[in-house]
Chain A
């Protein structure tokens, strides 16, 4: 019991440390502000070009595939997911790599806490950029394109995000484990994020993908997360309608978290043998 309490304290301390680092670099939030507002805005204008300035035939074709004619809101919600993925992959996903570069990874591993603490602890820090980019997304959607989400969607969105948090956390942790094997993961972050963008319907409807890719998308939590947020915000879907999706997310979270723990254990053992911990 005391070991568990110690691990919990260490977990909170790891999260607190990451939050402190986040606070020390406030200018990083300018990047979040810029990309969260302008990246989707450019896509919305692309949508205007492709739809001939909202030609009813083009919009109706889009609605058949996306389930809504609200192109701006569809795109902004997708990009909120993109920013969330980015913060998960660049934040907790690369936190172990940062420790490695700073030379503190070996010292951390020498402490008597569970190895799961350095794996899952930094995930706490991804919450702040995620909440920030969600706020920027909805405010800029309102300011630039006049779309105000219905008030009734607020609680369902919070529920979806609350269910999705552990899933995103697990994705970041699974990714983080790779540092122990490969060291530099910058290019891999780009590839993984690109794969999610292509597969999960972040910038275009999943219906545009070939059948085999749609089957792959069904195994990725962000597909459900972004689709459910769109459903509650754009179609006013009640929670009961997305209940099955939420259960799927919970199931996938368990699988990914277990995979993260297993691969971390495996890679840690390999890193101990090869001396990879201190190398970069």
Chain B
């Protein structure tokens, strides 16, 4: 119970800090819009024949371009929260000089990542509501009520991404100057999850990697339920893959985080940056 209170407090603290930087708040909503959504939408629309994106229909079984892009943005946003809020959050504490005092509290160190996950996910939900509002109003975004059926898949994917965040937090603590690492791995993870295009279009050598990511399955299930996209695999198999990869990644992340922490305690690098 105490750990839950601590996690909620950490999440609240992150949201309070973020709300103090209003330009950053606005930028976090509009940057994905003008750097990702709008260029992708206009690029996709440039292939449209008589107002229908027939190519997309042939590829994924629906010509709902706005739906395809905005739903990709949901999983890309979830990946970004895991990488930047949860994983890279440790680095921010390091920069602010608050990592050592936080580490000295009786709260378990794993709880810090959970707390950051809570804060990050609340912000993620709020920003998605705004983005979807803009999508519906400005881009003709439409999706089926069946999107609700994808919520369980998203919840499982979130658990898997917390595992990834543990893994990343461990790496970030060890390599310290992790900006480039987080930036590039975030991009690769998001791309391999099929947020921008179906994973079947990835080079053959990269497709097995895509199948190791819970977000790949969550992406596919979300598009199936929300816009009637054609499933890449049998949906039952996709749920199985989602659960299996989450069951693998979560303990793997916890183990890597514990190893990194132990290594830092031995080497005395907690306060270095």
Chain A interface (Cβ within 8 Å of chain B)?
Answer: 30-31, 34, 38, 42-43, 45-53, 55, 57-59, 61-62, 65-66, 187, 190, 194-195, 197-198, 202-205, 207-209
Contacts and interface: CB of A to CB of B under 8 A. Distances in A.
B54 A208 contact: no
Interface string B34-61: 1100111011111111000111111110
A194 B34 CA distance: 6
B266 interface: no
A38 B187 contact: yes
A47 B56 CA distance: 9
B-side interface size class = 35 or more
Contact of A198 (B31, B38, B60, B65): B38
Given A42-B191, A45-B202, A187-B23, A50 B53 contact: yes
B23 A204 contact: no
A171 B56 CA distance: 37
B45 to A, nearest CB: 6
Contacts of A190: 27, 31, 35
Contacts of A207: 46
Contact of A50 (B43, B187, B188): B43
B138 interface: no
A208 B43 CA distance: 8
Given A53-B58, A190-B27, A197-B39, A46 B197 contact: yes
B198 interface: yes
B1 interface: no
Given A34-B184, A61-B46, 7 more contacts: A43-B43, A48-B59, A50-B47, A57-B49, A58-B47, A65-B46, A203-B39
Interface string B100-116: 00000000000000000
B180 interface: yes
Nearest to A209: B42
Contacts of B45: 204, 208
Nearest to B187: A38
Contacts of A52: 54-59
Interface in B18-40: 23-24, 27, 31, 34-35, 38-40
B12 to A, nearest CB: 25
Interface in B164-203: 180, 184, 187-188, 191, 196-198, 201-202
B39 A204 contact: yes
A31 B58 contact: no
A194 B47 contact: no
A50 B56 contact: yes
Contact of A204 (B27, B35, B43, B202): B43
B55 A51 contact: yes
Which 6 A-B residue pairings sit nearest by Cβ, starting from the closest?
A: A52-B58, A52-B55, A58-B55, A49-B197, A51-B55, A204-B43
Contacts of A205: 46
A48 B44 CA distance: 10
